[in-house]
Amino acid sequence: MRTFFIFFLVLLGTFIIDQNIKNIFVDGYYRAGECIDLELHYNPGVAFSMFEFLGPYLKWIQAVLIAIILFVIFKEGYLKRYAFPAGLLVGGALGNVYDRFIHEGVVDYVAWHCGFNFAVFNFADVAIDLAVVILLIMIYFFPEKEKTEI
């Protein structure tokens, strides 16, 4: 129960923070900088606008993928060990899919252009990336100890 509570709070917190920041930019906030512009962009695709050609189907494909991730997390018992990163991952994913249903594209706002133009991204993207990094560190550097039977 404790792990579900951690998972749910991280998921909910990530989603709420993400949507509130996005609303600031949807309402018109803009700030130009030397290396980073904070400006509204709608991304109809995924990272680097890939799969944009899928149009309105992309939101449904991503919703199904989130459902599969949730099924695996709960069915295989991963929540016990990975509650925090799973909450970040699912919260960020839900934030971006929600955008697709409401805004017809993901609301991005951090545009990096220092020396080269990088992808435009948002808080949900950072949460997803952070979740993947935490999962990789936990899996490869702190593997689960196998139980020995006597």
Q: Which of 18, 27, 37, 125 is catalytic?
A: 125
From CA 70, how far away is CA 27, in angstroms rounded?
A: 32
Say if 137 falls within a structural domain: yes
Percent of the chain with pLDDT over 70: 97
In a domain? residue 148: no
What confidence tier does 147 reach under pLDDT thresholds 50, 70, 90? low
- Give the predicted TM-score (pTM) of the model: 0.89
Tens of pLDDT, residues 44-54: 988 767 888 88
Residue 149 domain-assigned (yes or no) = no
Catalytic residue among 27, 37, 99, 108: 108
Query: Would you say residue 39 lies in a domain?
Result: yes
18 is catalytic: no
Looking at the structure of the chain, the number of domains it has is: 1
Q: Is the model's pLDDT at 136 over the cut of 80?
A: yes
Q: What's the pLDDT score for residue 148? A: 63
37 among known catalytic residues: no
Q: What is the mean predicted confidence (pLDDT) over 69-79?
A: 91
Q: Predicted confidence band at 140 (pLDDT cuts at 50, 70, 90)?
A: very high
Structural domain containing residue 56: 2-141
Q: Which residues pair with 110 in a beta bridge?
A: 38, 121
pLDDT band, very low/low/confident/very high, at 150 (cuts 50, 70, 90): low
Per the domain annotation, does 146 fall within a domain? no
**Main-chain phi, psi angles of 30, to 5 degrees:** -150, 140
Q: Decide if pLDDT at 116 tops 80.
A: no
**Torsion angle in degrees (nearest 10) through CA of 43, 44, 48, 51:** 170
Taking all residues of the chain, what is their mean pLDDT, rounded to a whole number? Answer: 92
